[in-house]
Amino acid sequence: MEEKILKLKEQLENELSKVQDAAELESIRVAYLGKKGCITELLKGLKDLSDEEKKSFGQKVNLLKGEVSAKIDDYKVKLAEAEVLKEIEAMPEFDMSIPANLERGSYHPITLVQRECEKVFKSLGFVVEDYSEIVSEYECFEALNIPKHHPARDMQDTYYLENGQLLKTHTSAAQNAIYRKYKDALINEGKPIKAIFPGRCFRNEATDACHENTFFQMEGVMVGKDINISNLIFFMKTMLSEVFQRDIKVRLRPGFFPFVEPGFELDINCLICGGEGCPSCKQSGWLELCPCGMIHPEVLKAGGIDPEEYTGFAFGLGLTRLAMMKYGVKDIRDLNSGVLKSMEQFTDGE
């Protein structure tokens, strides 16, 4: 009997050492500890033994059973560990030199620049408005104090339509509608008008790298009691510093636009050289950026607002020009080309 036990132990060690996976281990377990397993068989032999022998042999077999069970469990853990190791080892080292797949959508650069500007104005309590692209002569000219026979109304600059309407030549064409929309709140509730209105504009001209017949502007107006030139300068400086994310110096020069009085050309210190003078600013240190001014009394009147009581300022930003400046786009025609090799480069990275 003793011998049998020893042999079994030996045999078990031998078999366990060859075990490859959980299934084999399980079959060993069954072979030893199962209902018909050899240890169970050993116990069956008990009935032929004397009580004394039964007792001692029974103890030994039970001990063996425990030992075998523990050994198998031990192997189970080892096997599991080995499998995890195997799995870990089976994984290859990935090739990190393969370039990342950057496939993604893209925004039009105008959208990106427009959103940046809108963000600034929204933070200053401006409402973002929109307006039609086809407008009347009245909206585009008369309401802006641009009389008949003004050079800006020449046929060669404006796309006229068969029905007498036209493609708006500037976002200012929405001013009249904006004033009319908000004048009651201004007059009755004292709410100042603060609005920006980005939009697409059209000029009837031949296109080249610097000229497009279809481009974007963004107009802004603020009207209230006692809005003055000092406010205008403050506002333009603050707004542009936000847009360009740095402290911008502004400079105002007289500029003539029929819908403002006084009207200004606003220069900012050159973004490239900071004002020292470089080829970008033709050594002047300044960049002409946007026209602005105090809204002409006739324009307020046309919008239903009494210029004796209310004053305001207006400004126009060339969104297309801003986008070109910001991204270094050299040919303006790229923007409307729909060529995805160009367009895919513009993402919302702010």
Partner 1 sequence: MFLSMNWISDYVDLSGLDKRELISRFSLSTAEVENEIFYKGSDLSGVVVAEIKSVEEHPESKKLHLLKVDCGDGVLTDVVCGAPNVRVGMKTAFAKLGAQIGDITITPRKLAGYTSNGMCCSEKEIGISDDHGGIMEIFEDVALGTDIKDIYQIDDIVFEVDNKSLTNRPDLWGHYGIAREFAAIAGRELKPLEVIDLSQYDNLPGIDMKIENTLCQRYSCLKFENIQMNVSPVNMRIRLFYCGMRAINLLADLTNYLMLEMGQPMHAFDSRKVEKIRIKCFDKPFVFRTLDGVDRNVDENTLMICNGDTPVAIAGIMGGLDSEIVEDTTTLTLESATFDAVSVRKSTVRLAHRTDASMRYEKCLDPEMTVKAIARFVKLLMDIDGGVKIVSSLTDEYAVKYDTVTLSFDKSYVNRYTGIEISNEQIVKTLESLGFGVTLAGEAFTVTVPSWRATKDVTIKADIIEEITRIYGYDNFDVHTTRVPLYPVRAYEEKTVEDKMKDILVKRYSLHEVHSYIWAYYDEYKALGIEIEDNVKLVNSTNPNIETLRRSMIPTQLCQVKSNFQYAADFGIFEVGRVVDGLKDDNLCNEKKKLGITLFSKTKTIEQLYFELRDMVAVLFDDIKHTAITLSKKEATHSYQHLKNLNAIVADGKEIGEIGVAHPVVSKKIDKKAAIVFAELDVTEFAEITNKSISYEEPSRFPEMTVDLSFVAEKFEPIANAIAKANSPLVKKVSVADIYQDENGKSITVRILFSHAERTLTREEVTEVTDAVIAELAKDGIALKN
Site for partner 1 in 49-108 (CB under 8 A): 103-108
Minimal distance, residue 263 CB to partner 1, in Å: 8
Peptide bond into 307 cis (omega under 30): no
Confirm if 85 and 299 have CB atoms less than 8 A apart: no
State which of residues 222, 240, 287, 324 lies at the interface with partner 1 (CB under 8 A): 222
Tell me whether residue 69 or residue 214 sits nearer to partner 1 (CB atom).
Answer: 214
Give the x-and-dash track for 143-182 against partner 1 (CB under 8 A).
Answer: ------x-x--xxx-xxxxxxxx-x---------------
Q: Which is nearer to partner 1, 38 or 128 (CB)?
A: 128
Q: How many chain residues are in contact with partner 1, going by CB under 8 A? A: 87
Q: Closest separation between CB of residue 211 and partner 1, Å?
A: 12
List the interface residues with partner 1, window 233-252 (CB under 8 A). Answer: 233-235, 237-238, 251-252
Binding mask 8-37 for partner 1 (x = CB under 8 A): ------------------------------
Phi, psi values for residue 122, rounded to 5°: -60, -40
| H or E element at residue 135 | strand 134-135
CB 139 within 8 A of CB 174: yes
Number of residues that this document lists for the chain: 350
Burial bucket for residue 262 (CB in 10 Å: 0-12, 13-18, 19+): middle
Pick from 308, 181, 289: nearest CA to 244: 289
Q: Shortest approach of partner 1 to residue 188 CB, angstroms?
A: 13
Nearer to partner 1, 330 or 341 (CB): 341
Q: Residue 117 carries which DSSP code? A: H
Q: Is 255 in the site for partner 1 (CB under 8 A)?
A: yes
Q: How far is the C-alpha of 350 from the C-alpha of 346, rounded, in Å? A: 11
